[in-house]
Structure 1
Amino acid sequence: MYQPQRTSRSEFVPIRQLRYHVRLWGEPGPGKVPLVLVHGWMDVAASWQFMVDAFSRDHYVIAPDWRGYGDTEAPGTDNYWFPDYLADLDFLLDHYAGEQPVDLVGHSMGGNVAMLYTGSRPQRIRRLVNLEGFGMPAARPTQAPGRYAKWMDELKAFHRGTLELKTYESADGVARRLMKTNRRLSQDKADWLARQWARPQADGRWRILGDAAHKITNAQLFRVDEVLALYARIACPTLWVEASDDSLGQWWEGRFTRAEFHERLQAVPQVRKAVLQDTGHMLHHDQPLALAQHIESFLDAP
């Protein structure tokens, strides 16, 4: 099994009436800019371990489990609203950084949160890194009736208990699932991640550490005009990193493309782009050393 090179510690902090779990690597110190890492959908903070191990020096790393993931409490609701992630991050930065600007890295859903947050609070972020946080296809107002109906149908399925996350007979089963999703994930890393990503329950089966309500469709349409207005307010240097595999092509089958996202990126005032070779969407698992080098080079640039 994979052996972490840098030891993390866990803290629980009160954030907006939730008991938030935060994983920390390193210590704060003079001249150190806090490095905040925010994970994606159906992931956990421990997922950053491989990249943290690959850094060339010790950083003060702050990585929360989002609400309803990992060891952070679920809010006791039956669906999730994207603005809550921005507010949770704002409270977390109050707790860990005060008035000090931080470096912010987000993957996938976390990358989307990081971009929107930085547009909302530009003074709080020194450097911003977005890893495959594409956002969503542009929505049309005519989609609203069907979207609301789908949202209500999925809420009913959740309350009937028919919208659930799959469980597994063992940690090995979870590891096999991770390797099936990501063909580049090695056995040793999958075995380690499985024990961070899931936990055995009273019946002996392993359950993913995520609230099933995360699967419910967002009732709100994705507004590209709002996103572009937020992108335009990002005041710090921004690094966009995408995988060599085209995740959008697999997910949306032409309905939302990389070219369309790159057009949106033009709204960001200071953006640098990079492609990480031999990677899929989980690029922090596939090439943690190359990614760590990209990020550190960007953070250290004048």
Structure 2
Amino acid sequence: MTTTENRMITTERGAFNVRLRGDADGTPVVLLHGWPESSYCWQGVAAHLPDDYRLIMPDLRGLGDSERTLDDSAYTKQSLAADMLGLLDELGVETFALVGHDWGGATAQEMALAAPERVQRLVLMNIHVLPNARGNQAAQDVIRQRGAQSLWYQFFQAAPNLPEAMIPGNEDAWLGHFLRTWSREGFPDAAFDEYVRCYAIEHTPATGAAYYRCYKADTARWAEIAGTRFAMPGLYIYGRHDPVIIPAFTQHLDDVFDDIRLEELDAAHFVQEERPSEVAALIQDFLSPVAAG
């Protein structure tokens, strides 16, 4: 049985924990997690992917076991993309397939925009497509009509000092709200315990909140790149019961992809943990031309 190796890798931009699995000479596949998780979220998917893939699963800055940086500007999705491209440089990986969920999906898109010649194929999961102005506007219109109630946690985390004051010691309750209510059929206990462990690491309430505290800078950039097209083939895997990334976000994907597939699963937000075998099968099928090449 193939095992997963954990390594702490230091680059010019910081120190990042990375889970590595599979053939070191195989097809590189980079998988990026979202908030409030870590690279642990890919364990189930990885178990269903071929051993001849070289799976590279980093913890993003401020989450998992990676560096906690107390500077909100370090968490713009462009900055996180630079982190990950630098990490891949350190690993000697030039070209790769790229998979991203939630904020990992936004980071993956920024990587694909910054270095399109390096990203062979792009898989996104339950995240808005950054340059998809029409689809994002349609979704925002629906969210506003509903009073934006589903976004309360974003406003909470943007408030100065509030997460730092209220989350420590309450990690189970804080994470339980999202991991257990944003899932269709429960959430794996081992994964939940792992994310509680990581969120209890000093400064994590602040670094987790930083993903949202830099939202003004992020959205200003995304307005500038509206309509920019992705050069590589894309696959969008969507859990149709997601309470935050609502179905309207999947509209008009053709506006920004020349080649895009949309696959909907009977899941909510955390598709990779709710439906790991199905997600793995979709990824493997989509990446088969790259692996064959």
Q: TM-score, normalised by structure 1?
A: 0.75
**Take 1:179 and 1:155, find their aligned partners in 2: how far apart are those partners?**
22
**Take 2:258 and 2:178, find their aligned partners in 1: how far apart are those partners?**
40
Structure 2 matches for 1:165-204, cutoff 5 A? 167-168=170-171, 178-185=179-186, 189-190=188-189, 192-199=190-197
**Take 1:286 and 1:104, find their aligned partners in 2: how far apart are those partners?**
20
Alignment RMSD, CA only? 3.4
The answer as to whether partners of 2:106 and 2:128 remain within 8 angstroms in 1 is: yes
Superposed displacement of residue 26, structure 1: 1.6
Where do 5+ consecutive residues of structure 2 fail to align? 131-135, 141-153
Structure 2 matches for 1:1-302, cutoff 5 A? 6-29=2-25, 32-78=26-72, 80-99=75-94, 101-135=95-129, 137-138=136-137, 157-158=160-161, 161-162=164-165, 164=167, 167-168=170-171, 178-185=179-186, 189-190=188-189, 192-199=190-197, 210-215=204-209, 216-217=212-213, 218-220=215-217, 221-222=219-220, 223-229=222-228, 232=229, 234-245=230-241, 247=242, 250-251=243-244, 258-259=247-248, 261-276=250-265, 278-301=266-289
Aligned residues: 264
Where do 5+ consecutive residues of structure 1 fail to align? 140-150
**Take 1:122 and 1:200, find their aligned partners in 2: how far apart are those partners?**
32
The answer as to whether partners of 2:163 and 2:205 remain within 8 angstroms in 1 is: no
Paired letter, 1:242 = Y
**Take 2:183 and 2:163, find their aligned partners in 1: how far apart are those partners?**
31
- Corresponding residue SS for 1:219: helix
Residue-by-residue CA offset, 1:228-285 (whole Å, 9 max, x unaligned): 22xx1x222111111132x2xx337xxxx63454224422122122112x21111111
Superposed displacement of residue 155, structure 1: 7.1
The answer as to whether partners of 1:78 and 1:155 remain within 8 angstroms in 2 is: no
Residue-by-residue CA offset, 1:54-86 (whole Å, 9 max, x unaligned): 224442110110000011011232563221111
**Take 2:205 and 2:165, find their aligned partners in 1: how far apart are those partners?**
13
The answer as to whether partners of 1:239 and 1:298 remain within 8 angstroms in 2 is: yes
Q: Which residue of 1 aligns with 2:146?
A: none
Residue-by-residue CA offset, 1:139-194 (whole Å, 9 max, x unaligned): 9xxxxxxxxxxx9x977732894364562479xx97797334424135xx32x113
**Take 2:101 and 2:113, find their aligned partners in 1: how far apart are those partners?**
17
The answer as to whether partners of 2:70 and 2:206 remain within 8 angstroms in 1 is: no
**Take 1:237 and 1:124, find their aligned partners in 2: how far apart are those partners?**
13
Identity rate, percent: 22
The answer as to whether partners of 1:182 and 1:282 remain within 8 angstroms in 2 is: yes
Paired letter, 1:196 = E
Q: For the structure 1 residues 75 and 196, does the alpha-carbon distance in structure 2 shift closer, same or farther, using more than 3 Å as the test?
A: same
Q: Name which one, 1 or 2, has greater alpha-carbon Rg.
A: 1
Which runs of at least 4 in structure 1 moved beyond 6 Å after TM superposition? Answer: 153-156, 173-177
- Corresponding residue SS for 2:193: helix
The answer as to whether partners of 1:13 and 1:19 remain within 8 angstroms in 2 is: yes
Residue-by-residue CA offset, 1:21-77 (whole Å, 9 max, x unaligned): 111112312xx2111000012110011001111224442110110000011011232
Superposed displacement of residue 131, structure 1: 1.0
Q: For the structure 1 residues 161 and 125, does the alpha-carbon distance in structure 2 shift closer, same or farther, using more than 3 Å as the test?
A: closer
Comparing both structures, which one devotes a greater share of its residues to helix?
2
**Take 1:58 and 1:168, find their aligned partners in 2: how far apart are those partners?**
37
- Corresponding residue SS for 1:296: helix
